[in-house]
Amino acid sequence: MRYNPKKIEAKWQKKWLAEKIYEPDLTSQRKNSRQDQTVKLRKPFYNLMMFPYPSAEGLHIGGMRTFTGVDIYGRIKRMQGHDVFEPIGLDAFGIHSENYALKTGRHPMKQAVILKKNFYRQLAAMGNGFAWDERLETNDPDYYRWTQWIFVQMFRHGLAYRKKQAVNWCPSCKTVLADEQVITGRCERCDSEVMKKELEQWFFRTTKYAERLLNNLEKIDWSERVKIAQRNWIGKSDGAIIRFPLTEIPSQPDGKHFVDVFTTRPDTLFGATFLVISPELAKFWMDIGWRVGDDVRDYVKTTLAERAIQARDAEPKKTGVFSGIYGINPANQEKIPVWIADYVLAGYGTGAIMAVPAHDERDFEFAKKYNLPIKIVVCPHYPEKTCPILDEAYTGEGHLVGSSVFDGMTSIAARATIVKHVGGKITIQYRLRDWLISRQRYWGPPIPMIYCEACARNKKGERNDTPGWYTVPEKNLPVKLPFIKNFRPTGTDRSPLASVASFYKVRCPGCKKEARRETDVSDTFLDSAWYFLRYPNVKNKKAAWDAAITKKILPVDSYIGGAEHSVLHLMYARFLTMALHDIGVLNFSAKGGSASGGEEPFPKFRAHGLITKDGAKMSKSKGNVVSPDEYIKAYGADAVRMYLAFLAPFEQDGDFRDTGIRGMTRFLERVWRMMQNFSSRHPEGAKRLKDPAKLRDASPTAQHDIQQVLHRTIKKVTEDIEHLHYNTAISALMVLLNSFEKHPEEVAQEYGGVFLKLLAPFAPHVAEELWQQMNAHTNAKLKMPNDKKKHSAFSIQYSAFRSVHREPWPKYNPRLIMEQTFELVVQVNGKVRGRVSVSRGISEADVVATARALESVKPYLAALPKKTIFVPDKLVNFVV
């Protein structure tokens, strides 16, 4: 019998499915009405990969590498005795799928069915240990019913609200976008330049959680680069708000005679030589009656207009205009001009700043351009008070100068002191903005809200802060996305659903008069921000999740995904979990002593590397996307899995070359041949199996050597998998096979069995096939589940089926690993001059004597060494 991947892979995939060997028991039961529900799971292990979206091109080879990497990890955990839960599903809603539908003209609902089928086919072909019974798709009403339910909870608890503001607008996708979905000024999905548009939209209050999102990062075990990305995104700044009285405000009606600025450097207050307000703030002042000259009016108008169109420049130009008014520096009562400039942003701090050109790069540049005074107040060379004329801003720390009574104080100490002196307020600012949830698109879950004009006029509504707005009653959920022919985005600020009267016409839940349904859908990232909560509960029709199951299985034990989601999905999921926890609808205790505190969904996260092709990122436009299909067809899933695991450390990028797959097939064929020795179907193997005892006595030394390699391999493979170093784990298996082949007569059957177990996570099909061959005489006779009529009978018979993937993971014996001897390295002046095998624990004196006697060393040791360095059980170095 030859190694035939196609045949055995199909066979075992079918068998595993029929036997449900990858399905943990998620049923919960209540013994009597008073008791809490209990769950049967013993040692649950939630092994999760980031939610895939079913792209039109299908799964590509990089995706397969990720899934394989996650699966390898899950398989060792299963063999180590855990009830591994490794679910799979599709993030099927969203602009990506919808845009593809627009291109092909096929309706997204029909397309989803096709893509789903293709994606699941590809995923199944990899032979992963997925819990297929728990799969889910976000476009399934059974799923988005609960996405909508979550929105309702968020609204009721004040975490979802409406507000009008300048938001990101993608002109190509014709919808608004959250800040996180604008990647350096471009749309995360289609790469078009994003514009600003003033619109009223739904937001989630992520900013309320800024501090917790930041602090919890200390407690969770994540790839450091992802933590850093989140920290930067949250962007915490410690500073102060300082009030500057304004002079000469001719006719401001609300008596606003001051402007507040936010600064992180209150210590430089004496160096403030002008104030700058954002054009937006200027506009607001003008709207409430501030009279300005034509130049100012024109500047504000054109700047605001430009901001709406132009997204960003690589090197933004700073422009500005003097407003005509002055402010008073509260520290020294100096009168300083107020400028309006485009380098001050409306959405951060107070929308106004104090400019300290000597100690801020942007202020410096602006002051140079408009010839404004630059006053040094922090000196790094104190007490030599003469600071040179600056040709760039000095932003570091130092001692204060030119700051009246504070001179000589360190800039750090001066911060709080000066704030106190001028009556400022210590404040923390975050860069993080609230999450814009609305999308003016078709392919998503409709936001479950109703707007009543009449109630709005009477200032009525479900919440006081949002008159006119009501949630859809829970019993009416889901608000089903209707099948409409024209799903094309409108390009107005409304979704295509806004023209479907049968959809939006509805009764007001408050006054029962005619009202209008919200026609925007929610962001796809909301779908994927909670899917991990639904997986163990997909069969639950009554609730989004079951308390008992959730408590038992969450949080996710191992989460693996792309670093590109550092501030997207990973931030949203953390936020939503915290919010649901606070609302009181979600509760999972810290399972297994993890640091989640019941509010961190992913206590352990690792970012995988990307697969490139000839050094370039794979992309549809470059036409270099590699599909796993043809490779699986040609070489089998096992060889492809092994190749992908071998080509680079899992957390590192790797370049795809198909020549390497052949090498893996070669390896598996060698394994196959070796293991035929233990197959009762093979004449050679049958002979050996008859008399295993004879073999054990063959050669004690060789036996010991092989055993040593075997136990070292167990140790290495176990540890390497734990660290996701699959490449070195596989190389260890290769070393082991090499030594098996060198002394085939010394390889006992149990060694072959251990080898197969170690191989099982990487090449599950071959390992299973060979394992069953090896144990065919002890296992019940196998019958394949081809015969449908006998299926039920077969299930009973198969309780005897013992998959290698359910076998206990081998343990190594530390005694067997220990070497009796080691190779002593002899160096002279740090250069290796000789090696000699000596016994462990040898004394320094013995080592020196042995080393000096070596022929290869003698010529270098004519004189007595000046110094001898001895590292026990390692080396000796003579310095001459």
Partner RNA sequence: GCCCGGGUGGUGGAACUGGCAUACACGAGGGACUUAAAAUCCCUUGCUCGUAAGGGCUUGUGGGUUCAAAUCCCACCCCGGGCACCA
- Which of 11, 77, 265, 551 binds RNA (CB under 7 A)? It is 265
Identify any residues that bridge with 222 across adjacent strands, giving them in sequence order: 605
Q: How far is CA 387 from each of CA 355, 377, 381, rounded to the nearest angstrom?
A: 20, 9, 7
Which residue in the block uniquely carries the two structure tokens 């969770």? 220
- The contacts of residue 778 (CB under 8 Å, 6+ apart) are none
Residues 541-580: x where in contact with RNA by CB under 7 A, - otherwise, as a string: ----------------------xx-xx-------------
- Which of 162, 208, 362, 460 binds RNA (CB under 7 A)? It is 362
CB 431 to RNA: min, Å: 4
- Which of 217, 583, 595, 735 binds RNA (CB under 7 A)? It is 735
- 728 contacts RNA (rule: CB under 7 A): yes
**Is 90 or 354 the residue whose CB approaches RNA more closely?**
354
Binding piece for RNA, criterion CB under 7 A, among 74-82, 250-258, 461-469, 872-880: 872-880
- Which of 617, 620, 681, 696 binds RNA (CB under 7 A)? It is 617
- What single letter denotes the amino acid at residue 456? A
**Is 17 or 563 the residue whose CB approaches RNA more closely?**
563
336 in Cβ contact with 329 (< 8 Å): yes
- 653 contacts RNA (rule: CB under 7 A): yes
- Which of 56, 166, 183, 583 binds RNA (CB under 7 A)? It is 183
- Which of 103, 164, 317, 542 binds RNA (CB under 7 A)? It is 317
**Can you list the alpha helix ranges (DSSP code H) found in 158-293?**
210-215, 224-234, 279-287
Q: How do 28-29 and 425-429 pair as beta strands?
A: unpaired
**Is 316 or 491 the residue whose CB approaches RNA more closely?**
316
- Which of 53, 120, 151, 262 binds RNA (CB under 7 A)? It is 262
Q: How far is CA 280 from each of CA 20, 272, 285, 312, rounded to the nearest angstrom?
A: 62, 22, 9, 17
Instruction: Give the span between the Cα atoms of 176 and 440, in whole angstroms.
Output: 7
| DSSP notation for 756-821 | HHHHTTTSHHHHHHHHHHHTTTTSPPP--TT-STTHHHHHHHGGG---GGGSPPP---HHHH--SE
- Which of 198, 514, 614, 655 binds RNA (CB under 7 A)? It is 655
- What single letter denotes the amino acid at residue 105? G
Residues 230-249: x where in contact with RNA by CB under 7 A, - otherwise, as a string: --xx-x-x-x----------
CB 866 to RNA: min, Å: 9
Q: 643: which 2 tokens?
A: 């190749």
- 712 contacts RNA (rule: CB under 7 A): no
Angle at 334 between CA 333 and CA 340, to 5 degrees: 120
CB 267 to RNA: min, Å: 11
- 271 contacts RNA (rule: CB under 7 A): no
Binding piece for RNA, criterion CB under 7 A, among 117-125, 419-427, 502-510, 734-742: 734-742
- Which of 193, 669, 705, 750 binds RNA (CB under 7 A)? It is 669
Residues 841-870: x where in contact with RNA by CB under 7 A, - otherwise, as a string: ---------------x----------x-x-
CB 743 to RNA: min, Å: 12
- 314 contacts RNA (rule: CB under 7 A): yes
Binding piece for RNA, criterion CB under 7 A, among 75-83, 225-233, 400-408, 575-583: 225-233
Residue 415's φ and ψ, nearest 5 degrees, are -50, -65
CB 338 to RNA: min, Å: 14
716 in Cβ contact with 736 (< 8 Å): no
- 871 contacts RNA (rule: CB under 7 A): yes
Q: For the chain, what percentages of helix, strand and coil (3-state, to nearest 5) are there?
A: 40, 20, 40
- 345 contacts RNA (rule: CB under 7 A): yes
**Is 364 or 575 the residue whose CB approaches RNA more closely?**
364
Binding piece for RNA, criterion CB under 7 A, among 206-214, 408-416, 652-660, 771-779: 652-660
Binding piece for RNA, criterion CB under 7 A, among 349-357, 456-464, 576-584, 753-761: 349-357
**Is 365 or 407 the residue whose CB approaches RNA more closely?**
365
- Which of 835, 848, 854, 861 binds RNA (CB under 7 A)? It is 835
- 597 contacts RNA (rule: CB under 7 A): no
Per CB under 7 A, which of residues 420..449 are in contact with RNA?
Answer: 429, 431
- 192 contacts RNA (rule: CB under 7 A): no
Binding piece for RNA, criterion CB under 7 A, among 208-216, 486-494, 760-768, 824-832: 824-832
CB 187 to RNA: min, Å: 12
Nearest to 87, CA basis, from 760, 552, 559: 559
Identify any residues that bridge with 183 across adjacent strands, giving them in sequence order: 186
- 348 contacts RNA (rule: CB under 7 A): yes
- Which of 31, 35, 224, 388 binds RNA (CB under 7 A)? It is 224
- 312 contacts RNA (rule: CB under 7 A): yes
**Is 264 or 627 the residue whose CB approaches RNA more closely?**
264
647 in Cβ contact with 656 (< 8 Å): yes
**Is 322 or 667 the residue whose CB approaches RNA more closely?**
667
Count, residues in the chain: 880
**Is 48 or 353 the residue whose CB approaches RNA more closely?**
353
- 879 contacts RNA (rule: CB under 7 A): yes
Ramachandran sector of residue 873 (left: φ over 0; alpha: ψ -120 to 50; beta: rest): left
| Cis, bond preceding 473 (omega within 30 deg of 0) | no
| DSSP notation for 628-689 | HHHHHHHH-HHHHHHHHHHSS-TTS-EE--THHHHHHHHHHHHHHHHHGGG-TTSHHHHHHH
**Is 567 or 637 the residue whose CB approaches RNA more closely?**
567
Enclosing H/E stretch for 69: helix 61-79
Enclosing H/E stretch for 703: helix 700-722
Instruction: Give the span between the Cα atoms of 666 and 639, in whole angstroms.
Output: 9
- 670 contacts RNA (rule: CB under 7 A): yes
Neighbour-count burial for 34-62, b at 16+ CB within 10 Å, e otherwise: eeeeebebeebbbbbbbbbbbbbebbbbb
- 649 contacts RNA (rule: CB under 7 A): yes
**Is 144 or 740 the residue whose CB approaches RNA more closely?**
740
- 684 contacts RNA (rule: CB under 7 A): no
Instruction: Give the span between the Cα atoms of 267 and 258, in whole angstroms.
Output: 21
CB 713 to RNA: min, Å: 11
Identify any residues that bridge with 878 across adjacent strands, giving them in sequence order: 828, 868
